[in-house]
Copies of this chain bind each other. A is one copy, B any other.
């Protein structure tokens, strides 16, 4: 089961994954055939099945993993350092800029709407991604609470869940309508809500 790959082999394998990911981002999972991937990556049928014995399904799972990784790394280093309002704003801007420049090239959508539905394996990858992401946001909320910048009575997990849902929905809406307004609104309203929580409950405990 433990296939041994030479450097050349694993390079080819990686090339296939990245080519497939790009193809899927551009045309969607359903419209992406193995021949498309083959042509794009300059490989042959046998190579695809050599590196992914499980065929199309195994390749899609690998792509899901790859794209899930990109979703988070695209937001770094801002995402893991949400320890000041300035950092929050920068993170917000990173997200917005990312989609303003290249709305089409969206690993998040690829993994959520396209791949996440297909197999239990991909679903697990997606769940793991969401958990990690939400955890990072919640950590940022707690960091601000410790600094007294956010109402300590606020539920960090719930706030993070709501924010994540807003981002998710904003991206989905953007991909359907081409408008960034919902993503911006979701981020701005959520962050504003966090900032103002202190004013509502100034010194609760």
> Contact string, A101-129, partner B, CB cutoff 8 A, digits 1/0?
00000000000110011000001001100
Q: How far is the CA of A200 from the CA of B151 in the complex (A)?
A: 14
Which of A126, A176, A181, A200 has the most B CB atoms < 10 Å from its CB? Answer: A176
Quick one: copies of this chain in the complex?
2
Q: How far is the CA of A185 from the CA of B169 in the complex (A)?
A: 13
Interface 9-residue window, one of A7-15, A53-61, A91-99, A188-196 = A188-196
In the complex where A113-B113, A158-B185, A200-B196 touch, is A169 in contact with B165 (Cβ < 8 A)? yes
A contact residues vs B (CB 8 Å cutoff): 28-30, 112-113, 116-117, 123, 126-127, 130, 158-159, 161-162, 164-173, 175-177, 181-183, 185-186, 188-190, 193, 196, 199-200
* Cβ contact within 8 Å between A172 and B176: no
* Cβ contact within 8 Å between B170 and A165: yes
* Cβ contact within 8 Å between A177 and B126: yes
Q: How far is the CA of A173 from the CA of B109 in the complex (A)?
A: 12
Q: Which residues of B contact A164 (CB under 8 A)?
A: 169, 173, 182
- Contact partner of A193 among B123, B182, B193, CB < 8 A? B193
In the complex where A29-B30, A188-B158, A189-B193 touch, is A117 in contact with B166 (Cβ < 8 A)? no
Report the minimal beta-carbon distance from A10 to chain B, rounded to whole angstroms.
Answer: 30
Q: How far is the CA of A161 from the CA of B190 in the complex (A)?
A: 12
Report the minimal beta-carbon distance from A158 to chain B, rounded to whole angstroms.
Answer: 5
Q: How far is the CA of A28 from the CA of B159 in the complex (A)?
A: 31
In the complex where A116-B176, A117-B28, A176-B126 touch, is A166 in contact with B186 (Cβ < 8 A)? yes
Q: Which residues of B contact A188 (CB under 8 A)?
A: 158, 162
Q: Which residues of B contact A113 (CB under 8 A)?
A: 113, 117, 172
